[in-house]
Amino acid sequence: MKDKNSRWTYSLYIAVAMIVSLISATIWDVFSQTEALTVVKIVSDSFTLPGVLFIGISLLGWVSSKGAFDIFGFSFQGLLNLWKKESYQKQETFYDYRVKKDENRKPFNLPMFLTGTAFLVLGIIMTVIFLIMES
């Protein structure tokens, strides 16, 4: 069952990356270009965009899964607790908050990272082709 979910996840991320790439290519007006050099440049940029986006999102998720942003949630929760009627009672410590959060942490999103890496590599390959064509 895990293999089927993995295929579905990879397929979904590839589809989303292709949609982002197609939208960015359309915004940069790739379909009305007649010069091959311009088309390769736009395609390179449109592959690089979802690659960088997916890698960035997955790395932020990894940092978050290690608990780097827990202090912000704890501080905001403490601020909201000031206006509660029970605010005079002893509040949980940061350690208790972090242990509770550790139980519900999501793992690193490897499919998103690998999809982003693949699109970034495609963008780099297209950039190399652009540079070869330009010279």
**DSSP 3-state percent helix, strand, coil across the chain (nearest 5):** 80, 0, 20
pLDDT digits (tens, 9 = 90+) for 53-94: 999 999 998 988 888 888 888 888 878 877 776 656 677 788
User: Could you tell me the pTM of the whole model?
Assistant: 0.79
CB-based contacts of 121-128 (< 8 A; 24+ apart in sequence): 121/51, 122/47, 122/51, 123/44, 123/45, 123/47, 123/48, 123/49, 123/51, 124/48, 126/40, 126/43, 126/44, 126/47, 127/44, 127/48
Total number of residues shown for the chain: 135
pLDDT digits (tens, 9 = 90+) for 23-40: 999 999 999 999 999 999
